């Protein structure tokens, strides 16, 4: 499984590609940051992020894209910029038909370090260890992107099993509902048939009137 992790941001959008499966050593294929100037117009910055992510998709051909789920913060302006960059990443993946997964920061930290409240230094240290790197990726946005990719690789099997269980449960419910419909419909139509035939029988047995 090859995953492109995206740590969204307007000024620095971290990107990292990791390949592997749960329970086996992972391999990093690339890591970096898509940067945009803070003094540029918003539209131009979003276009630059789109172009940068498209280049990564072209070069590494990931099977999945893992994006950090935007959560509420006190700084609304920061949240808006992060959400906009996140939407661009999701759009780029969806346009190519690549499945997108969203993971919260606490999910990523817990998956990589075992602690949902780990700081960036701890995340970077574990990413370095898991990917057998010489040093933690810089800046922290790049390390976070790799952590997102690792998180998805490790969590995907459990998520797939959960999705399959939900889908199977829905199929079973639909089958049970379909099986119960004929009996219910028969019960609903039975009184109607009796009512429709009753007047006919009454007319057949009623005495014939005299003709003038």
For residues 68 and 103, what is the distance between their CA atoms, to the nearest angstrom?
Answer: 5
Is there a cis peptide before residue 56, judged by omega within 30 degrees of 0? no
19 catalytic? Reply is no
Backbone angles phi, psi at 5, to 5 degrees: -90, 140
Q: Is 134 a catalytic residue?
A: no
Please calculate the CA angle 153-159-165 and round it to the nearest 5 degrees: 150
- Does the active-site annotation cover 39? no
Q: Which of 41, 68, 107, 134 is catalytic?
A: 68
Sign, Cα dihedral of 9, 10, 16, 22 = positive
CB 164 within 8 A of CB 17: no
Q: Which of 134, 141, 144, 204 is catalytic?
A: 141
* Number of Cβ within a 10 Å radius of residue 19: 16
Residues serving a catalytic function are: 7, 68, 141
């Amino acid at each position: 499984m090859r995953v492109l992790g995206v740590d969204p941001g307007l000024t620095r959008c971290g990107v990292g590609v990791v390949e592997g499966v749960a329970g086996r050593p992972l391999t990093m294929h690339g890591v970096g940051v898509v940067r945009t100037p803070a003094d540029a117009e918003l539209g131009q910055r979003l276009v630059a992020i789109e172009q940068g992510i498209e280049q990564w998709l072209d070069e590494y051909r990931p099977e999945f894209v893992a994006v950090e789920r935007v959560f509420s913060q006190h700084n609304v302006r920061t949240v808006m910029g992060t959400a906009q960059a996140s939407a661009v990443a999701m759009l780029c993946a969806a346009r190519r038909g690549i499945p997108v997964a969203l993971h919260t920061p606490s999910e990523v930290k817990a998956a990589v370090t075992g602690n949902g409240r780990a700081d960036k230094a701890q995340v970077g240290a574990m990413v370095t260890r898991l990917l057998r790197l010489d040093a933690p990726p810089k800046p922290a946005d790049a390390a976070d992107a790799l952590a997102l990719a690792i998180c998805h690789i490790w969590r995907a099997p459990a998520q797939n099993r959960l999705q399959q269980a939900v889908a199977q449960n829905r199929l079973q419910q639909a089958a049970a509902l379909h099986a119960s419909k004929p009996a219910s419909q028969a019960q609903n139509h039975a009184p109607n048939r009796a009512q429709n035939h009753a007047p006919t029988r009454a007319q057949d047995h009623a005495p014939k009137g005299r003709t003038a």
